[in-house]
Amino acid sequence: MPETPYFVSYPEAIKILESQPLSLPTEIVPLDGAHNRILSEDLESKVDDPRFDNSSMDGFAFRYQDSLTPPTHLSIIHTLQAGAEPSPLCVEKGQAVRIMTGAPIPDGADSILPIERCEVDEGNSTLLLNEEGKKHFIRKQGENLSKGQIALNKGAHLTPSSIGLCATMGYPEIPVFQQATIGILSTGDELQLPGTKLNESEIYESNSFGLSGLVKWAGHTPKRYDSVVDSIDILRNKLDKAAEECDLILTSGGVSMGDWDLVRKIMEEEGDIKFWRVKIRPGSPPLFGYWKGVPIFGLPGNPASSHVVFRMLVAPYLRASTGGGGIQERRVRVKLAESFKSDEKFLVLRRIKVDTSGEQLRAYSTGYQGSGNLNSLVLADALTLLEPGHSGEKGTWCDALLL
């Protein structure tokens, strides 16, 4: 065995990965193309938000002082709608202005009453107030954000609401990390594309499709290759091609101890392995290293494992590659509603359904936990994070990673 770290703990694996992240440059994208991208610089607002004091209601604006002894009659002198030209108008004692949501508050006025709480005479010239005006219906300039304030930080995962905020702050385009092109290479003689006719020993290849979705979920660009048969020479060619075309390579299958586990074999003989095997269950076989200078994860072939290992190792690595940015890990505390098998040495990642209906979050198994059982992952909304030595007895509490 070479002296590469072998069978490392989960924290050790993360430490190795975070010490050598990808370096992703910045590019500028229009807001329309910003969904699920990762901001590469702090963004400060170019404007106050709101830009000026304005009404949060359709109603009437007047002097608060005038409304203190209802009923009160005020004469309606003007109408202001959102986007109306600013007028030199000033609301004097005994006067009111009809105002729409978003319209600037005229000078002199300092309170609003919504239209449904007012009475207006037939000629639309006199307003009858039966209650005091409300100051809180005025949205004050800069109360959400002031000009120059940083509202989105480097690393922010761009969601529909944060993209909206970029527009509010005055940005037509924004700086984001370039997406990594991530090559996905399944290995195994038995694998065939869904839709093809299978002979008796063949199965449908699924990992590359699942991993491709995970790469997109993480905000990067998958490049899915056809699966590779178990041949060292063909694998070498495919890895070379992927290394030329991609920033990072993910393989699936062929990393265990078996004679046909050729990814592990070729990496041992011709690659540069930084660690092999991690004390997590499922998903203990993975390796990380470099092929012709390009980082590579050798993920396990079992479909549930390859997905779990992406979430546990590849996602943190990609996060580290954007300064800790992108979709963040979300953990919750759950109470085990049934007993789970834990382990003295391994971090155990059981697929669970979290029942949120009671006062405590309760975790149920999604069924048979075999690492080939993708269905149990589909049914899951979280993974237990049962630390080594932690009891998996019913009634115990543990952290869970939301999927």
- Find the length of the chain: 403
* C-alpha 143, offset from chain centre: 27
| Given 254, 271, 286, 325, the residue binding ligand AMP (CB under 6 A) | 254
Binding part of the chain for Mg ion, among 150-158, 250-258, 291-299, 345-353 by CB under 5 A, reads: 250-258
Which residue's CB comes closest to ligand AMP?
A: 301
CB nearer to ligand AMP: pick between 219 and 254: 254
Q: Closest separation between CB of residue 234 and ligand AMP, Å?
A: 15
CA–CA distance from 319 to each of 111, 139, 211, 383 (Å)? 48, 38, 16, 19
Residue 253 touches Mg ion, criterion: CB under 5 A: yes
CB nearer to Mg ion: pick between 188 and 298: 188
CB nearer to Mg ion: pick between 163 and 250: 250
- Cα(339)–Cα(302) distance, integer angstroms: 24
- Cα(317)–Cα(22) distance, integer angstroms: 8
Range 388-391 contact pairs with CB under 8 angstroms and sequence separation of 24 or more: 388/9, 388/279, 388/343, 388/344, 388/345, 388/346, 388/347, 389/342, 389/344, 390/342, 390/348, 391/342
Q: At what angle do helices 262-270 and 232-245 cross, to 10 degrees?
A: 70
DSSP 202: -
Binding part of the chain for ligand AMP, among 107-115, 135-143, 252-260, 320-328 by CB under 6 A, reads: 252-260
Q: How many residues bind ligand AMP (CB under 6 A)?
A: 18
| Residue 292-331 contact track with ligand AMP, rule CB under 6 A, x = bound | --------xxxx----------------------------
- Cα(300)–Cα(182) distance, integer angstroms: 17
Q: Closest separation between CB of residue 190 and Mg ion, Å?
A: 7
CB nearer to Mg ion: pick between 126 and 256: 256
- Judge contact between 394 and 338, C-beta under 8 A: yes
Q: Which of residues 70-129 bind Mg ion (CB under 5 A)?
A: none
Q: Closest separation between CB of residue 254 and Mg ion, Å?
A: 5
| Residue 300-329 contact track with Mg ion, rule CB under 5 A, x = bound | -x----------------------------
What is the H or E stretch that residue 80 is in?
strand 72-80
| Given 256, 375, 391, 396, the residue binding ligand AMP (CB under 6 A) | 256
3-state SS, residue 163: helix
Residue 142 interacting partner from ligand AMP, Mg ion, none (CB closer than 5 to 8 Å by kind): none
Residue 298 interacting partner from Mg ion, ligand AMP, none (CB closer than 5 to 8 Å by kind): none
Residue 284 interacting partner from Mg ion, ligand AMP, none (CB closer than 5 to 8 Å by kind): none
Binding part of the chain for Mg ion, among 23-31, 248-256, 330-338, 346-354 by CB under 5 A, reads: 248-256
- Cα(93)–Cα(61) distance, integer angstroms: 12
- Cα(227)–Cα(241) distance, integer angstroms: 13
Smallest CA-to-CA distance from 169 within 178, 179, 161 is with 161
CB nearer to ligand AMP: pick between 82 and 198: 198
Smallest CA-to-CA distance from 55 within 123, 126, 120, 140 is with 140
Q: Which of residues 101-120 bind ligand AMP (CB under 6 A)?
A: none
- Judge contact between 323 and 154, C-beta under 8 A: yes
- Cα(120)–Cα(127) distance, integer angstroms: 5
Q: Closest separation between CB of residue 285 and ligand AMP, Å?
A: 7
| Residue 359-378 contact track with ligand AMP, rule CB under 6 A, x = bound | -------------x------
Binding site for ligand AMP (CB under 6 A): 186, 188, 190-191, 203, 205-208, 252-254, 256, 300-303, 372
